[in-house]
């Protein structure tokens, strides 16, 4: 009976230990180091306690039940003290939560965007948006992340995400999961300066009062700089759109239908809701169909696009596939090729970003050691990869200024200075 009783106790302890493991593996619980399993004896079950069982059995066989109970109570008290000490090592940042976010360009989500999460300039995780422009990542509480978005054709952008929450939320298991986190990204446009984006412009905090999501901090975020960029970009886009429409009109009056159609199509790519360009394109396509010239122009445009694509000239390939898509809206081929370009261009872009990061790391090291001339070489190499990079332009301008200040005075300048000094003394 005694042996069977001890076996039952051992099985009971093992079951409790297993249930504790399963409990701690729950998403909202697994990282709470201070959590104690509440069992009938009121102490923390651990492997060390299970190791006592064989000796416990021997002790039980050799001593009275009263002494055994006293011994067991002492053991329980010891484990209670240990569990209380364990709480002192609790780290709130160890509790993770799931964040779902979306990347937007105006009102449209953007697929295939790389989203990097940094803590103190160290990359902690990296995700890519799916075809709905959505990503999901696990993050720690009470941590400040720098979130970087990278997409070919768009400005590299950084935002700050502060995951600080109240202690009450952490004690209840933390955020768990949250969505409705959105980042807006902006296309690069010729002639528009991107200097403002060299630093994070938007700061996000967790809102547990109005909802269960991260929202921009109006006090810290520099929305005015973003609005200035949008305003300048919009002005230039409208100017270019108007210019292309005018060029299309001139070609149309000269009865150069294909050139006119191409110009109107480019105007429409810049501003897709341009109704005037849409109407003119529709009329010209009808005219080409009537003259049986549409198929030939479509085939010629696709051939140009395919040739550019083979050479990895993605800019011209995009222009021609977009034109082909406008010529025959029901055709699947140009749409599929534009998706392929998006992925291929992104792969090359990310490889170049890796090279860029390596060059800049070395350049910054040399710059901090005041070896400005050598650091300039690395920055110049980076600038060849990304000619519009605002940070590089600022850094190169600063180095040029420093190098100019260090330049020795030319002998002729020295003589002039000495003569001038002599005249001043005679006065």
Predicted confidence (pLDDT) per residue in 132-185, tens digit: 999 999 999 999 999 999 999 999 999 999 999 999 998 888 999 998 899 999
CATH 1.25.40 intervals, the chain: 232-328, 332-427
CATH 2.60.40.10 intervals, the chain: 92-221
Phi, psi of 215 (to 5 degrees): -135, 155
Handedness of CA 241, 242, 246, 249 (dihedral sign): positive
What SS3 class is residue 4? helix
Q: How far apart are CA 62 and CA 343, in angstroms?
A: 75
What architecture does CATH give domain 232-328?
Answer: Alpha Horseshoe (1.25)
End-to-end CA distance of the chain: 121
3-state helix, strand, coil in the chain (%, to 5): 60, 15, 25
- HSE toward the beta carbon, residue 383, CA cutoff 13 A: 15
pLDDT at res. 210: 78
Predicted confidence (pLDDT) per residue in 33-53, tens digit: 333 333 333 333 444 444 555
Q: How far apart are CA 89 and CA 91, in angstroms?
A: 6
pTM over 0.85: no
| Fold of the 92-221 domain | Immunoglobulin-like (2.60.40)
Task: Choose the weakest-confidence range: 6-20, 166-180, 199-213, 234-248.
Answer: 6-20
| Fold of the 332-427 domain | 1.25.40
Residue 205: pLDDT above 80?
yes
């Amino acid at each position: 009976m005694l042996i069977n009783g001890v076996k039952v106790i051992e099985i009971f302890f093992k079951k409790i230990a297993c249930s504790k493991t399963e409990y701690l593996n729950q998403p909202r619980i697994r990282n709470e180091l201070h959590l104690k399993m509440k069992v009938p004896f009121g102490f923390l079950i651990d492997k060390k306690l299970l190791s006592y069982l064989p000796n416990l059995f021997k002790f039980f066989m050799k001593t009275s039940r009263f002494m055994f109970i006293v011994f067991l109570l002492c053991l329980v008290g010891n484990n209670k003290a240990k569990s209380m000490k364990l709480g002192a090592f609790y780290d709130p940042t160890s509790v993770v939560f799931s964040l779902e976010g979306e990347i937007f360009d105006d009102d449209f989500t953007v697929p295939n965007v790389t989203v990097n999460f940094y803590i103190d300039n160290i990359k902690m995780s990296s995700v890519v948006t799916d075809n709905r422009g959505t990503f999901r990542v696990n993050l720690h509480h009470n941590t400040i992340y720098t979130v970087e978005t990278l997409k070919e054709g768009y400005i590299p952008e950084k935002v700050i995400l502060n995951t600080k929450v109240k202690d009450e939320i952490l004690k209840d298991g933390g955020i768990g999961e949250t969505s409705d986190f959105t980042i807006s990204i902006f296309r690069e446009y010729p002639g528009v300066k991107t200097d403002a984006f060299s630093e994070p412009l938007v700061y996000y905090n967790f809102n547990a009062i109005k909802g269960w999501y991260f929202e921009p901090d109006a006090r810290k975020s520099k929305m005015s700089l973003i609005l200035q960029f949008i305003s300048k970009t919009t002005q230039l886009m409208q100017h270019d759109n108007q210019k292309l429409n005018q060029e299309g009109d001139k070609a149309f009056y000269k009865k150069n239908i294909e050139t006119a159609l191409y110009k109107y199509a480019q105007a429409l790519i810049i501003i897709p809701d341009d109704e005037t360009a849409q109407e003119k394109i529709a009329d010209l396509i009808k005219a080409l169909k009537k003259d049986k010239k549409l198929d030939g122009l479509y085939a010629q445009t696709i051939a140009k696009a395919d040739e550019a694509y083979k050479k990895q000239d993605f800019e011209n390939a995009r222009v021609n596939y977009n034109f082909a898509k406008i010529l025959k809206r029901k055709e699947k081929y140009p749409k599929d090729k534009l998706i392929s370009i998006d992925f291929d261009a992104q792969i090359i872009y990310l490889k170049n970003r890796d090279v860029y990061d390596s060059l800049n790391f070395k350049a910054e090291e040399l710059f901090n050691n005041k070896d400005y001339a050598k650091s300039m070489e690395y920055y110049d190499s980076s600038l060849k990869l990304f000619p519009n990079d605002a940070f590089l332009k600022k850094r190169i301008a600063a180095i040029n200024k420093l190098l100019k200040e260090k330049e020795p005075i030319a002998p002729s300048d020295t003589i002039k200075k000495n003569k001038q000094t002599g005249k001043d003394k005679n006065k």
